[in-house]
Amino acid sequence: MAKELMIEKWSGYVNEISIGATKEEGGSRSNVIKIGGQKTLPFLFSEGAIPHKPVIAFEVWDTQPIDWPNELLMAYGETVKDPFDWAEKCVKDFSAAIVCIKLAGAHPDLGDKTADQEAKFIGQLLKKVDVPVIILGCGDDAKDNVVLPACCEAARGEKCLVGSAVQDNYKTLTAAALADGHNIIADSPIDINIAKQLNILISDMGMPLERIVINPTIGALGYGLEYAYSIMERARLAALSGDKTVASPFFCLVGQESWRAKEAKASITEFPSWGPESERGIMWEAITATALIQAGADILVMRHPKAIEKVNKYIEDLMDNR
């Protein structure tokens, strides 16, 4: 007797968010990236709609990275010395559909660039590349409170994704994103209750839940990945069960977490049994990404072009099963 497959139907769904605005929409982007909209768990196509595939954003810094391994820097060559060349290489040579600009140079320890400098940079960058843009602050809350509003204004009308808002420091960025028509990233430290509370706080300021994405603060392959995976899974189950306060797409900094792991960047001379770091780092990033895709990641910010190529192929293979 044939066994019938059990199909589970959900009452809730993940919010759909658009990043980027074309000329007809008041911006200057060549395309719009849409994420979210799922009505089921990842890739269970028989149980509900999955209208959009996960998207990979290439990470670009506004200053030359000082802590990236040589194997990673070599993938971009001399372009890492000029963020405009770097971003253009991602789009032209590697077919990036979206780029993530980290304003690392604004950090007091990495150049301390002013809000005016960063706003001018964003304005120029938007003329150099025409794909949708994610704008990330430097990570210093006080400096981001000054820099990010200026960058939001410089990118007005482009419907960027801007971050990150945290529980103790969300009001300034939320107000700026609202005023200039951008979406916002809400950071939570691997805690579903904090993620939910932060979304409520941001929405109470007038930002629609449909314009918020959650950064659950993931870990890379190895220590921390399982915990991050379980938190993402719990949030997605809650969203599909009808909890609109956590029904946001997920945003994951895969490259950042993967390439700072010792296993990804340690020299083969130090650990000969681990194999060459050129291959190991790429696989560490790719496997981290594939695991998080299964947890429900919607946007993955990655670094190495070869890892991105592998993960894009993985995504296409999964989507072919529809």
Q: What are the tens digits of pLDDT across the range 265-296?
A: 888 888 888 888 889 999 999 999 999 999 99
Parse the chain into domains and list their residue ranges: 17-319
By C-alpha distance, which of 297, 292, 302, 201 is closest to 248?
Answer: 297
pLDDT of 151 over the 70 cut: yes
The two structure tokens encoding residue 107: 């950090």
Q: Cα separation of 56 and 83, whole Å?
A: 19
Handedness of CA 162, 168, 169, 174 (dihedral sign): positive
Comparing 109-113, 119-123, 131-135, 217-221, the range with the smallest average pLDDT is 217-221
Which of 145, 183, 219 lies closest to 21 in space, CA to CA?
Answer: 183
Q: Which pLDDT belongs to residue 1?
A: 57
Q: Is-contact 134 301, C-beta < 8 A?
A: yes
Q: Give 184-203 pLDDT, tens digit per residue.
A: 999 998 899 999 999 999 99
pTM for the predicted model, two decimal places: 0.95
What does the pLDDT average to over 143-163?
97
pLDDT band at 17 (very low <50, low <70, confident <90, very high): very high
Q: What is the CB neighbour count within 10 angstroms for residue 171?
A: 13
pLDDT for position 220: 87
Pick the CATH number of 17-319 from 3.40.50.150, 3.20.20.20, 3.10.20.340, 2.30.140.10: 3.20.20.20
d(CA 134, CA 160): 6
